[in-house]
Structure 1
Amino acid sequence: MKPINDKDTQVVYLKKRLNIFMEVLDSIDPEETEVEDIDRLIGMINDIELKCEQFRIRG
């Protein structure tokens, strides 16, 4: 995948990733959540954070 340098495209990308995260979060049943589910959520947040940092560096 080629780097996303356009600010508008970066914002759209991040919004999509956050929406996916929210959908996954909404679908989790607290009564049946396992450690792997929490790890997956943390991984998603880490990926979004990494992408934000990459976008910030690209300016």
Structure 2
Amino acid sequence: MKRAHRTAHARIWRVLGLLLPLAFFAILALRQTPPAGRPAVLIEAPAGGTRAEVPQ
């Protein structure tokens, strides 16, 4: 009886050890959505000169 219990226990933990991280990462991958309602902002160099001017 003890041997069967240990074997079942080891199998259950192996399955959980594999499935839980896979499920976690799958949920994270499916949950990511692009930002809605925000326009894209282009990042570019300042128009004049090499120094960025601070608006006052």
Larger Rg computed on CA atoms: 2
Q: Do both proteins adopt the same fold according to a TM-score greater than 0.5, normalized to the shorter chain?
A: no
Question: TM bucket by the smaller chain?
Answer: 0.3 to 0.5
| TM-score (structure 2 length as normaliser) | 0.41
Higher helix fraction (1 or 2): 1
| TM-score (structure 1 length as normaliser) | 0.39
Q: Relative contact order: is structure 1 or structure 2 higher (C-alpha 8 Å, sep ≥ 6)?
A: 1
